[in-house]
A and B are shown apart, each in its own frame.
Chain A
Amino acid sequence: MTNMNVYLLAALSPLFGALVAGLFGKQIGRSAAHLVAIFGVAISLIASIIIFVDVLDGHMFNGSVYTWAIIGDVRFEVGFLIDRLSSLMMIVVTSVSLMVHIYTIGYMKEDPGYQRFFSYISLFTFAMLILVMSNNFLQLFFGWEAVGLVSYLLIGFWYKKDSAIYANLKAFLVNRIGDFGFLLGIALVLHYAGTLDYAAVFDQSENLASQQIELFGGIGWSLVTVICICLFIGAMGKSAQFPLHVWLPDSMEGPTPISALIHAATMVTAGIFMVARMSPLFELSESALSFVLIIGSITALFMGLLGLVQNDIKRVVAYSTLSQLGYMTVALGVSAYSAAMFHLMTHAFFKALLFLAAGSVIIGMHHQQDMRFMGGLRRKMPITWLVSLIGSLALIGFPFLSGFYSKDSIIESVHLSTIPGAGFAYFAVLAGVFVTALYSFRMYFLVFEGEYRGGARKSDHGSHGNHEPHESPMVVWAPLVGLAVLSVFSGAISIQPILFGDYFQDVIFVMESHDVVRQFGEHFHGWFAMGLHGFQTLPFWLAAAGVLVAWFLFLYSPNARKKLTLFSPLTRLFEEKYFLDKFNEWFFARGSKSLGGLLWRIGDQKIIDGMVVNGSAKLVGQVGMQLRRVQTGFVSHYAFVMILGAFALVTIWLF
């Protein structure tokens, strides 16, 4: 088999599964539908592994599959760029996707939309692969919007639920705001570089950096800064960075497997991936990097804070995802692209784990998501408990676990950076460590420790006779164990090659003066030494403090919490999510409706139709009325006018 066939197999086999499960799901039945979907993704994973090994052997690929259109002298292609960045992403995407596919058999067991769900998640896998395998901006945008479409379909999967169909519209529109910037960035690239092919654009990056563009009043902007900021606005939508993050918490209305796959592990990291892919452009603009850094820092700290006051187990994990995406963005901002990709990978594993574990809790609790009614599940769901603990420890950066390596690398990189804003970013990521530990272990203690508080609740979930929480079936917990293993080991084994080896050497471009990862590497003496050293660092003690405070407030002395009235305005601010949703609802949603109404009623109906169109009709009518008076019907009158007219004509003619 040639390489191209393997690439096509990797991309298209999930599409095949999606089409079969989607179009013929009714005819072939449930188990055939999930088998074909799982089979498709499994083949894709195997192909991705083959490709990964092949790439490690030094076989990169950059070429076209077919020509989409030729306009003038510009060729728009659909093609693949298979290198170390894309093959790593392919492994992450297909492996998490396979876990989620298997998990779904158990999670969606009773849902009438079973086949449809499998069709969507396979379609998503296809779209995400198209995105990461692309060798040009056009196809990137195709994948970008296609994952957005599937996200829309999946958030609104339970289409009878008002909150779900509100959330999916919101998600799509907020993402479209990001895409608006993204498309402008692509248009700028096409106009100034004359091509959308990555390699050809990067070859001209110096040339782009030397140009200026006038946007307002004759002030020149660096072209590459404008391009990078436009592209990054796209990433802000997809990767849920402040202030375009508002859709992600609401996306939790969708079924849990997709929260894990799409809204934690893969789709939301597309923005991070994209910026890493564009490193040859971003490196040339310190202003753009600084912008990225500040947005990332705000997201990392302030979104984490919101996780402190959520009672819905999935929303806590969602805010945690926002905060971790902020960490990745911060890493991008300090040119530590490899650290961002590293955290992307470890986060994909432990966050998918946390989400799926939360889903397991939700099944065990008979679709109760409110943590106030949980507690003491450690004994009732031992496997779920154990993997959740592992996931939480990885998330807060406990030494030797995967999250520790990636997060510490980011923090160290920020510490070493000289990009404007790095000081603020350093504070934000350090404070974020404390906050992360606090909300993670608040959740952990509320769910798994203490006494079970759900007994008195009247369950609306009628299909079970037994309302006691119970451990989930194996098809649910087996993927959790797989992800737990990855969450433990993936950091230790890959930090050396990814960060300090030559893994990303030819793929990610970093300027000498920005190369904080290299500086950090000078102090690196192997994963074991780093893990040991981890116990003596500031982030570790901040995390420990967070766990301790969580333990004190949520397990040891819950009453102490009530005395913290000092914080109640702050709590309200967090509960209201900094009033951003309210503001958006009022300003953008209501505002555009009012504007539309105004333009329609005043512009179209009153002015154009009322005054101009019907006005001229009326004018014609009135002129007609006046003219009618002239038509008296008496021949003598007409004769008289005729004679006058004849005189007038003769007079004009003579003189």
Chain B
Amino acid sequence: MSTHVIGSLSLIVWLPIIFGVAVLLIGRDGRERVARWLALVGSVLSALVVIPVWIQFDVKQSEFQFVEFIPWIETFNINYHLGIDGISLVLILLNALTTVFVVVAGWEVITKKVSHYFASFLILSGMINGVFCSLDAMLFYVFFEATLIPMFLIIGIWGGPNRVYAAIKFFLYTLAGSLLTLVALIYLYRTTGGSFAISDFYTVSIPQSAQVLIFLALFAAFAVKIPMWPVHTWLPDAHVEAPTGGSVVLAAVMLKLGGYGFLRLSLPIVPDAARELAPFVIALSLIAIVYIGFVALVQRDMKKLIAYSSISHMGFVTLGIFIFNAEGMQGAVIQMVSHGFISAALFLCVGVLYDRMHSREISDYGGVVNSMPMFAALFLVFAMANAGLPGTSGFVGEFLVIMGAMASNFWFAFAAAMTLILGAAYTLWMYKRVVFGECGSEQIRGLKDVNAREFAMLFVLALIVIGMGLYPKPFTDVIDVSVASVLELASVIKN
């Protein structure tokens, strides 16, 4: 195995964490300006270090790349073992960019415990990169669980009035799922004769009954994380209470840990069980798409609406993964990245409004376009992207998943395509009530349009969303071989 002792991936994982700690240490005692600038520099640098990796990444190679290997806990054969494929790479890019947006979004808005706030996000960002880079199951698990802590703090400290309930619900919900994962990993450690290497898990043969149990144990963690119906109810609560930045990271990146888990662990490790239980997962995904679409329609709180919309969009991810074909799975990965940008943008838009009006109730708004035309135009781009309009990234994933679903069954595609109607209905109806019409109140008449900072982040996001919609090929090229190799692993019979 060709290994760098320490390399690009370590930089990607640890640079944000180092900056996070630095922000914590240097930015104490009211030195808020320093904390902000240091956080910005850290997040931008952490994003920049992804670029050389993206350039050097060989899209034709199906092996993991940029591999690093250092023994860690030798007694249990746990290693610091990093490496990425195309799927990891696009998600790392998403995470790195999201972190920059979050820092910019919190710039002057956060006034309480500023250094802690920015530090939490930087550390969280590094941990998430850690999940996407881990090739050792224990390392994966540690990063996966550790991400809970900063997010728990973000919701619990900077959240809304009901933040403690939401934070605990979030924590327990997701923790309950992941404890079972630990059991599954230990079982696999014993089956492989003492290895936590994910690649060893791929090759070891496992009896069918055990495969089903392992699948369900992993499923408990990833289904909650992504989240799937019916274990989704923590998400709307968490979003409503989380500060804007928390919602952005939660929707844009943390949900994707679930989808990534399915692709990295569930399908390749227990392929027979995954195939056997696929109809069950597909059914839950389709329920999520349709059922949650209707629920989103009646939400009165903008953040809740976007949260439900996220669940429905994540239904496309699980559907795309479990129909086992190239269109579907590529669509699922693209959907994860695209939804990351779109949901981030939508939560930032709600944040822009919330900072001015201190309300997220749709009924408190109306006629925002009269006083904030620039904001209205940008918001429309993201609303349309959320409704899956061609020419935006939102279309690419949904389109590919629907195409893939048709190869599986006409009615799967039929139910999934319902989102064309429902997604447009809940998103544009909200847009209409918030943005169009006469000014709903004097307060709205006096609103200031987006400032340079807000404009910059929304404009860059709009460019990304449109660019990815018009020309998704750079992304599909990066994931093409990786998706093919996951599909190949998932087709192996190993019981």
| Pair A71/B330 contact, Cβ less than 8 Å | yes
Bitwise, B353-379 to A at CB < 8 A (1) or not (0) is 000000000000001011000000000
| Pair B428/A183 contact, Cβ less than 8 Å | no
Q: Is B477 part of the binding interface, using a Cβ–Cβ cutoff of 8 Å? A: yes
| Pair A165/B437 contact, Cβ less than 8 Å | yes
Bitwise, A287-313 to B at CB < 8 A (1) or not (0) is 000000000000000000000000000
Question: Which residue in A176, A213, A609 is a CB contact (below 8 Å) of B233?
Answer: A609
Query: Would you list which residues of chain B between 281 and 330 have a CB under 8 Å from chain A?
Result: 291, 294-299, 325-327, 330
Closest to A617 in B: B172
Residues of B within 8 A of A180 (CB): 417-418, 420-421
| Pair A159/B436 contact, Cβ less than 8 Å | yes
A597 vs B417: C-alpha distance when bound (angstroms): 22
Contacting chain A: which of B9-17, B45-53, B77-85, B398-406?
A: B398-406
Bitwise, A592-604 to B at CB < 8 A (1) or not (0) is 1101110110011
Question: Which residue in B169, B291, B330, B424 is a CB contact (below 8 Å) of A176?
Answer: B424
| Pair A173/B327 contact, Cβ less than 8 Å | no
Q: Is A408 part of the binding interface, using a Cβ–Cβ cutoff of 8 Å? A: no
Closest to B291 in A: A599
With contact pairs A145-B389, A160-B437, A187-B403 given, residues A177 and B421 touching in the complex (Cβ less than 8 Å): yes
Contacting chain B: which of A32-40, A61-69, A333-341, A427-435?
A: A61-69
| Pair A173/B425 contact, Cβ less than 8 Å | yes
Closest to A73 in B: B326
| Pair A160/B367 contact, Cβ less than 8 Å | yes
Q: Is B112 part of the binding interface, using a Cβ–Cβ cutoff of 8 Å? A: no
Residues of B within 8 A of A592 (CB): 294, 297, 425
Closest to A152 in B: B428
Q: Is A8 part of the binding interface, using a Cβ–Cβ cutoff of 8 Å? A: no
Question: Which residue in B298, B390, B400, B417 is a CB contact (below 8 Å) of A596?
Answer: B298
With contact pairs A184-B417, A608-B233 given, residues A172 and B424 touching in the complex (Cβ less than 8 Å): yes
Residues of B within 8 A of A149 (CB): 384, 389
Bitwise, B458-495 to A at CB < 8 A (1) or not (0) is 00000000000001110011001000100000000000
Minimal beta-carbon separation of A25 from chain B (angstroms): 11
With contact pairs A165-B432, A597-B298 given, residues A68 and B472 touching in the complex (Cβ less than 8 Å): yes
A172 vs B432: C-alpha distance when bound (angstroms): 12
Q: Is A74 part of the binding interface, using a Cβ–Cβ cutoff of 8 Å? A: yes
A169 vs B424: C-alpha distance when bound (angstroms): 9
Query: Would you list which residues of chain B between 380 and 417 have a CB under 8 Å from chain A?
Result: 384, 389-391, 395-396, 399-400, 402-403, 405-407, 410, 413-414, 417
Q: Please count how many residues in chain A sit with their CB below 8 Å of the partner chain's CB atoms.
A: 50
Bitwise, A563-607 to B at CB < 8 A (1) or not (0) is 000000000000000000000000000001101110110011000
| Pair A184/B413 contact, Cβ less than 8 Å | yes
| Pair A184/B414 contact, Cβ less than 8 Å | yes
Bitwise, B438-455 to A at CB < 8 A (1) or not (0) is 100000000000000000
Residues of B within 8 A of A595 (CB): 294
A183 vs B414: C-alpha distance when bound (angstroms): 9
A188 vs B411: C-alpha distance when bound (angstroms): 12
Q: Is A156 part of the binding interface, using a Cβ–Cβ cutoff of 8 Å? A: yes
Residues of B within 8 A of A593 (CB): 297-298
Closest to B474 in A: A69
| Pair A160/B370 contact, Cβ less than 8 Å | yes
| Pair B294/A70 contact, Cβ less than 8 Å | no
Q: Is B280 part of the binding interface, using a Cβ–Cβ cutoff of 8 Å? A: no
Question: Which residue in A72, A169, A176, A604 is a CB contact (below 8 Å) of B420?
Answer: A176
Q: Is B230 part of the binding interface, using a Cβ–Cβ cutoff of 8 Å? A: yes
| Pair B436/A72 contact, Cβ less than 8 Å | no
| Pair A191/B407 contact, Cβ less than 8 Å | yes
| Pair B406/A608 contact, Cβ less than 8 Å | no
Minimal beta-carbon separation of A385 from chain B (angstroms): 37
A213 vs B407: C-alpha distance when bound (angstroms): 12
Q: Is A197 part of the binding interface, using a Cβ–Cβ cutoff of 8 Å? A: no
With contact pairs A146-B390, A191-B403 given, residues A70 and B476 touching in the complex (Cβ less than 8 Å): yes
Minimal beta-carbon separation of A618 from chain B (angstroms): 13
| Pair A169/B432 contact, Cβ less than 8 Å | yes
Q: Is A162 part of the binding interface, using a Cβ–Cβ cutoff of 8 Å? A: yes
Residues of A within 8 A of B472 (CB): 68-69
Closest to B408 in A: A191
Minimal beta-carbon separation of B419 from chain A (angstroms): 9
Query: Would you list which residues of chain A between 61 and 113 have a CB under 8 Å from chain B?
Result: 66-72, 74
With contact pairs A149-B384, A592-B297, A596-B297 given, residues A69 and B421 touching in the complex (Cβ less than 8 Å): no
| Pair B326/A71 contact, Cβ less than 8 Å | yes
Question: Which residue in B396, B400, B428 is a CB contact (below 8 Å) of A172?
Answer: B428
Q: Is B76 part of the binding interface, using a Cβ–Cβ cutoff of 8 Å? A: no
Bitwise, A449-492 to B at CB < 8 A (1) or not (0) is 00000000000000000000000000000000000000000000
| Pair B406/A599 contact, Cβ less than 8 Å | no
With contact pairs A187-B403, A187-B413 given, residues A142 and B390 touching in the complex (Cβ less than 8 Å): yes
Residues of B within 8 A of A186 (CB): 403
Residues of B within 8 A of A72 (CB): 325-327, 484
Question: Which residue in B400, B413, B418 is a CB contact (below 8 Å) of A71?
Answer: B400
Minimal beta-carbon separation of B266 from chain A (angstroms): 22
| Pair B294/A596 contact, Cβ less than 8 Å | yes
Bitwise, A130-161 to B at CB < 8 A (1) or not (0) is 00000000000110111001001000100110
With contact pairs A169-B432, A608-B233 given, residues A69 and B420 touching in the complex (Cβ less than 8 Å): no
Q: Is A190 part of the binding interface, using a Cβ–Cβ cutoff of 8 Å? A: yes
Q: Is A4 part of the binding interface, using a Cβ–Cβ cutoff of 8 Å? A: no
| Pair B437/A67 contact, Cβ less than 8 Å | no
A191 vs B407: C-alpha distance when bound (angstroms): 6
Q: Is B429 part of the binding interface, using a Cβ–Cβ cutoff of 8 Å? A: yes
Q: Is A179 part of the binding interface, using a Cβ–Cβ cutoff of 8 Å? A: yes
Residues of A within 8 A of B407 (CB): 191
Residues of B within 8 A of A215 (CB): 410
**Most A CB atoms within 10 A — which of B391, B417, B420, B429?**
B420
| Pair A69/B294 contact, Cβ less than 8 Å | no
Residues of A within 8 A of B473 (CB): 67-70
Query: Would you list which residues of chain A between 162 and 181 have a CB under 8 Å from chain B?
Result: 162, 165, 169, 172-173, 176-177, 179-180
Residues of B within 8 A of A145 (CB): 389-391, 395
A597 vs B294: C-alpha distance when bound (angstroms): 8
Minimal beta-carbon separation of A642 from chain B (angstroms): 28
A160 vs B438: C-alpha distance when bound (angstroms): 5
Minimal beta-carbon separation of B236 from chain A (angstroms): 8
Residues of B within 8 A of A187 (CB): 402-403, 405-406, 413, 417
| Pair B428/A213 contact, Cβ less than 8 Å | no
**Most B CB atoms within 10 A — which of A69, A72, A188, A215?**
A69
Q: Is A613 part of the binding interface, using a Cβ–Cβ cutoff of 8 Å? A: yes
Minimal beta-carbon separation of B124 from chain A (angstroms): 25
Minimal beta-carbon separation of A162 from chain B (angstroms): 7
Residues of B within 8 A of A599 (CB): 291, 294-295
A593 vs B390: C-alpha distance when bound (angstroms): 26
| Pair A69/B476 contact, Cβ less than 8 Å | yes
Minimal beta-carbon separation of A567 from chain B (angstroms): 38
Residues of A within 8 A of B169 (CB): 613
Minimal beta-carbon separation of B453 from chain A (angstroms): 20
Minimal beta-carbon separation of A46 from chain B (angstroms): 26
| Pair A604/B233 contact, Cβ less than 8 Å | yes
**Most B CB atoms within 10 A — which of A173, A183, A599?**
A183
A-B residue pairs in contact (CB < 8 Å), sample of 8: A146-B389, A184-B413, A188-B410, A190-B403, A593-B298, A600-B299, A603-B230, A617-B172
Top-3 shortest CB links A-B: A72-B326, A187-B406, A596-B294
Using CB atoms and an 8 Å cutoff, list the residues of chain A in contact with chain B.
66-72, 74, 141-142, 144-146, 149, 152, 156, 159-160, 162, 165, 169, 172-173, 176-177, 179-180, 183-184, 186-188, 190-191, 213, 215, 592-593, 595-597, 599-600, 603-604, 608-609, 612-613, 617
Known: A159-B369, A600-B295, A609-B233. 18 other contacts (CB 8 A): A66-B471, A68-B472, A146-B389, A152-B428, A160-B437, A169-B432, A173-B424, A183-B402, A184-B402, A184-B410, A184-B413, A188-B410, A596-B295, A596-B297, A596-B298, A599-B294, A600-B294, A617-B172
